[in-house]
């Protein structure tokens, strides 16, 4: 778990909002990631803000997911039987929902998510997609991870320089390492990071 999941999430969200504000106007209809254009990719990424606010309105009956890394094992389209096409469509709709001023829309979503997190007492057990229960302190690092990874995707697609804050990037990298270990790919990833082997084409932890 992050040492300060709330603060690190806030840093990731602020950095993402700043990036969106710097995207060239001509890039929004251009390529994003896979079948998404840039608007849909940004829209998909904003769901890391939207879901924080939405899930804070819930209370789970039990703790089904006990770490951020475990989230990426149990809360996947394959594990939950979700059609990937539905995920893609939600991203496109979220992109449309950004309206004519995406930067302002993102800033508004950011303000709401931060305000919602700031007033939460203790560490609530929330219910996420699939009806699974997880502590907020374990859910927020997954949102930091999504904001960082997709922030890098967005910057690459738009040709914009982007460097997340060091503590935010470090948190995302640590979570990637935890996901590698919990999914039995830790040795493979460690050997690759130390120059011993190359990862196969298309390798992904998530």
Domains recognised in the chain with CATH numbers: 5-194 (1.20.120.450)
Q: Scan for tokens 């703790």, then name that residue.
A: 63
Query: Cβ contacts of residue 41 below 8 Å, gap of 6+?
Result: 32, 33, 91, 95, 150, 153, 154, 157
Quick one: pLDDT at residue 121? 84
- Rounded distance between C-alpha atoms, residue 22 and residue 191, angstroms: 37
CA separation (Å) from 21 to 79, 102, 136, 143, 175? Answer: 35, 8, 28, 20, 27
Q: What is the pLDDT along the chain (206 residues), one digit of tens a residue?
A: 678 999 999 999 999 999 999 999 999 999 999 999 999 999 999 999 999 999 999 999 999 999 999 999 999 888 888 888 888 899 999 999 999 999 999 999 999 999 999 999 889 999 999 999 999 999 999 999 999 999 999 999 999 999 999 999 999 999 999 999 999 999 999 999 999 999 999 999 98
Cα of 60 vs its chain's centroid, Å:
21
pTM to 2 decimal places: 0.95
Look at residues 200, 148, 183 and name the one whose alpha carbon lies nearest to residue 15: 148
């Amino acid at each position: 778990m992050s040492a300060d999941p709330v603060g690190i999430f806030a840093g990731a969200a602020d950095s993402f909002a700043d990036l969106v504000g710097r995207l060239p106007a001509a890039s929004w209809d251009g390529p994003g990631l896979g079948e998404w254009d840039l608007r849909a990719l940004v829209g998909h990424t904003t769901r890391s803000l939207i879901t924080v606010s939405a899930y804070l309105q819930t209370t789970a009956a039990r703790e089904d997911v006990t770490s951020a890394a475990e989230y990426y094992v149990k809360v996947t389209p394959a594990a939950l039987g979700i059609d990937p096409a539905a995920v893609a469509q939600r991203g496109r709709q979220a992109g449309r929902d950004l309206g004519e001023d995406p930067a302002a829309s993102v800033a508004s979503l950011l303000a709401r998510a931060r305000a919602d997190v700031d007033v939460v007492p203790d560490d609530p057990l929330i219910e996420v997609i699939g009806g699974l229960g997880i502590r907020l302190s374990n859910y927020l690092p997954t949102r930091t991870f999504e904001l960082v990874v997709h922030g890098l995707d967005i910057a690459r697609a738009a040709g914009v320089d982007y460097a997340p804050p060091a503590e935010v990037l470090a948190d995302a990298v640590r979570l990637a390492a935890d996901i590698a270990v919990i999914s039995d790919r830790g040795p493979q990833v460690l050997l690759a990071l130390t120059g011993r082997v190359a990862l196969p084409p298309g390798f992904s932890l998530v």
